[in-house]
Structure 1
Amino acid sequence: MSLNKRKVLITGCSDDSIGSSLALAFHKAGYHVYATARDPNKITQLMSQGIETLTLDTLSEDSIAECVKKVPSLDILVNNAGKHFLMPVVDVNIAEAKKVYDTNVWAHIAVTQAFMPLLLESKGTIVNQTSVGVTLTLPFQGVYNSSKAAMSMLSDTMRLELEPFGVKVIELRTGVVKTNLIKTMRTSTNPTIPEDSIYEPARESIEKSLRQEQFENAGMEREQWAEAVVQDLSRKSPRPVIWRGEAAFLSWVLSLLPFGWSDGIAKKFSGLNDVAQILGKKKQL
């Protein structure tokens, strides 16, 4: 390991994920990368590229502490590990929703706190992965997007709080990127609404929306996204908010419009228009 290489640690680097692509892009750019994942058996692709891999379960205090012991110095921490979740808000299982916040919010804070001594020493950078959804109202994504919005606010707050110490905090708002996330979600959880859901008459349309089949092959290529992000973060003065991925620019533009102007687009792409038609017809019968 070259002593003069900048060191970056990335959470959530399982094979075929955006974290994995980001680790490879940093590696190609000359960084020493610590690529981490909860299950070391799911990070073999990066090992074969000569990238240092570490086990890190961001939900485990013991795992975080053990990982910190193996990292002598650190310049950039990328809080990337996340959990996806779709469900109408009134049908949300609270226990499952709390797991989303545990992974997308509190785990990021816990990892940041653990690596803070190294980041203070290097006057390093914290990168928090959020989503373009922090500025959009998207049906059925209320829990997921609100967890990202919470992390967005926390990230911006840390930006001010850590400025006196020379530590930069950057929010990475990612748009649509081609990953195995949707396929994995569909095969592992097969999202369905409860039997007593108020959306029961439109169950088929709702569950089709929850599976997000229309987005399975959509998005920017992971490698293209990762290379752009590394270029952004390698600048002398990176922007405090970085928008990358398909629909990122459109999301930025929509965030500037008056309240409610993006509702029509959100209803169309989420499938809510179809659901509304079905519910309307059922009501007339």
Structure 2
Amino acid sequence: MTTSPESRSLIVVTGASTGMGAATARELAARGHHVLAGVRREADGAELASDRIRPVILDITSSDQIADLASLIEADGRPLRALVNNAGIAVNAPVEVLPIAEWRRQFDVNFFGHIEVTQALLPALLRSRGRVVMMSSLGGRLAQPTYGAYSGSKFALEAVSDSLRRELAPHGVTVAIVEPGAVRTEMVGRGGVTARRLSAGMTPEQDRRYGGLMHAILAQSEGFLRDGVDASAAAKTIADAATSRRPKTRYTIGRDAALLTRLARILPDRTLDRVLASALRPLHPER
């Protein structure tokens, strides 16, 4: 019996416990690929496990767990076809309000964790002439109010991804960036919980400055959960980015991401400021 190339290679998906990561692992498996799915808890892995999905405990802020993943791939012996750097968190609050520890946590997960995983797996990807997929965001091209930390981490990831693509192209490794807009995922809901906690901790003066804005941002996030792209639909684009023979350098997910990334390129800053403010204005509480 002939074995397909897909079943003879591995794809790593980080942040696969829920949302787009879990959906992407399942989509890749359905396409015949063997997936190492990074999860935070064994219970999450139990829900994902199948003939083509092997859950692996992976916190991308843990150097030991990243090293264990690299060792597992070396011991497996199959070539590493792609790494999908999907893990992420969202921490939303005004720059003045957000504690520095939360800034560091945001960057540790959304930026430094991805860099460390990529560094650890690059030797295997170079041998196989594989693919790196970086999960950025609409927030990696457009920074809305209260998204300073989140967008900062994603802007940084976009810059490094561009640099990495140019470094690795001569060596046969391709790099693709995926920029989702509104997607119905657990990350959005968890980000809302964090935003409410941070909002509740604002001083009276900060609340006067930013209370209405935080209310509007939370209402907008609830709209994402209600009206955003389904994670399983997003997973199809991510799987294409990981496996297409000739990948694009950037993929967007959702009409909002396609439209706003285009507007961010062509509109003057002040005009874009007014567009974003007008979208939030109806969501502010009535005075």
TM range (shorter): 0.7 to 0.9
Which of 268, 274, 279 in structure 2 is aligned with 1:259? 268
Distance in 2 separating the partners of 1:36 and 1:195: 35
Alignment-derived partner of residue 59 in structure 1: 61
The corresponding residue for 1:209 is 216
In the TM superposition, what is the alpha-carbon distance from 1:48 to its structure 2 partner?
5.0
Between 212-221 and 263-272, report the one with greater CA deviation.
263-272
Q: Could you say what secondary structure the match of 1:242 adopts?
A: strand
| Residue 10, structure 1, aligned to residue 19, structure 2 | no
Aligned equivalent of 1:152: 158
Instruction: Map Cα deviations across residues 116-139 of structure 1 (whole Å, 9 max, x no partner).
Output: 111011011111111011221301
Equivalent residue, structure 2, for 1:283: none
The answer to whether 1:27 aligns with 2:33 is no
What is the CA deviation profile of residues 82-130 of structure 1, one whole-angstrom value per residue up to 9, with x for unaligned ones? 1111000111101111110011111101001111111011011111111
Please identify, of 87-96 and 177-186, the stretch whose mean Cα deviation from structure 2 is larger. Answer: 177-186
Q: Residues of 2 paired with 1:112 and 1:203: CA distance?
A: 37
Tell me, yes or no, if the aligned pair for 1:137 and 1:266 is still in contact at 8 Å.
Answer: no
Q: How does 1:164-243 map to 2 (within 5 A)?
A: 164-187=170-193, 190-193=196-199, 194-196=201-203, 198-201=205-208, 204-211=211-218, 212-243=221-252
Per the alignment, residue 37 of structure 1 pairs with: 39
Give unpaired runs (5+ residues) of structure 2: none
Report the TM-score, using the length of structure 1 for normalisation.
Answer: 0.88
Query: Equivalents in 1 of 2:231, 2:41: separation in Å?
Result: 21
Bigger drift between 264-273 and 80-89 goes to 264-273
1:123-178 per-residue CA deviation (whole Å, 9 max, x = no partner) reads: 11111111011221301101101110000000000011111211111111111111
CA distance in 2, matches of 1:243, 1:110: 25
Cα drift, residue 45 of structure 1: 2.3
- The Cα of 1:77 is off from its aligned counterpart by 0.3
For structure 1, the residue ranges without an aligned partner over 5 or more in a row are 279-285
Task: Single out whichever of 232-241 and 196-205 deviates more from structure 2.
Answer: 196-205
Q: Is the contact made by 1:75 and 1:119 (CA closer than 8 Å) also made in structure 2?
A: yes
Residue of structure 2 aligned with 1:107, choices 81, 106, 113: 113
Distance 1:167 1:111, change over 3 A: same
Q: For residues 97 and 147 of structure 1, what CA distance do their matches in structure 2 show?
A: 9
Counterpart CA distance in 1 for 2:51 and 2:225 is: 27
Match of 2:97 in 1: 91
After TM superposition, list the pairs within 5 Å mapping 1:262-273 onto structure 2: 262-271=272-281
AA at the equivalent of 1:60: S
Give 3-state SS (helix, strand or coil) of 1:41's partner.
helix
TM-score, normalised to structure 2's length?
0.87
Local SS of the residue matching 2:96: helix
Separation in 2, partners of 1:232, 1:157 = 18
Give the aligned length.
275
Deviations 1:39-75 (A, max 9, x none): 2222332115752111111111111111222223311
**Contact 2:32 2:52 (8 Å CA) reproduced:** no
